[in-house]
């Protein structure tokens, strides 16, 4: 069966510090991968998606970036965090040979102080 992991689970970082959030998927190959953010009162916002290694598409211009160095690894990064980057970050995957549903990881709670 497939599983998705995210770490860290929680993170408190000062403004201006770098960020690296990691997501890995097990039990599937060549998945579509997604990063979402949930900010208080703003619903789910798609940040990035990837259809393959090194292939990243950005949905929203911002100071965040994403990378996919391996087939089942998706990383969200920032060089300098802003207060507005605070939120709950969710990684999701979709199998190429499965339906159109996405499966979500447990999330990372980021607080920028």
Query: Which residues are at the interface with another protein (CB under 8 A)?
Result: 6, 32, 43-44, 46, 49, 51, 88, 90, 92, 94, 96, 99-107, 109
Q: How far is the CB of 14 from another protein (least distance, A)?
A: 22
Backbone angles phi, psi at 62, to 5 degrees: -170, -175
In contact, 103 and 93? CB cutoff 8 Å: yes
21, 14, 17, 32: which is closest to 90 by C-alpha?
21
Shortest Cβ distance from residue 53 to another protein (Å)? 14
**Residue pair 3/72 in contact by the 8 Å Cβ criterion:** no
Find the shortest distance in angstroms from Cβ 18 to another protein. 24
Closer residue to another protein in complex, CB, 5/79: 5
Residue whose CB is less far from another protein, 33 or 75 = 33
Please say whether the beta carbons of 75 and 68 come within 8 A.
Answer: yes
Considering beta carbons, is residue 12 or 44 the nearer one to another protein?
A: 44
Nearer to another protein, 79 or 96 (CB): 96
The pairing of strands 87-94 and 108-112 is antiparallel
Rounded to a whole number of angstroms, the minimum distance from the CB of residue 22 to another protein is 15
The distance from CA 6 to its chain's CA centroid, rounded to whole angstroms, is 8
């Amino acid at each position: 069966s497939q599983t998705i992991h995210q770490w860290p689970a929680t993170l408190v970082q000062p403004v201006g510090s770098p960020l690296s959030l990691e997501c890995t998927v097990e039990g599937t190959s060549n998945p579509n991968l997604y990063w979402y953010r949930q900010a208080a009162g703003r619903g789910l916002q798609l940040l990035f998606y990837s259809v393959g290694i090194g292939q990243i598409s950005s949905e929203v211009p911002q100071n965040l970036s994403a990378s996919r160095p391996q087939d089942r690894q998706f990383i969200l990064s920032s060089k300098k965090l802003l207060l507005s980057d605070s939120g709950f970050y969710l990684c999701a995957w979709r199998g190429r040979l499965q339906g159109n549903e996405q499966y979500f990881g447990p999330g990372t709670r980021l607080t920028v102080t």
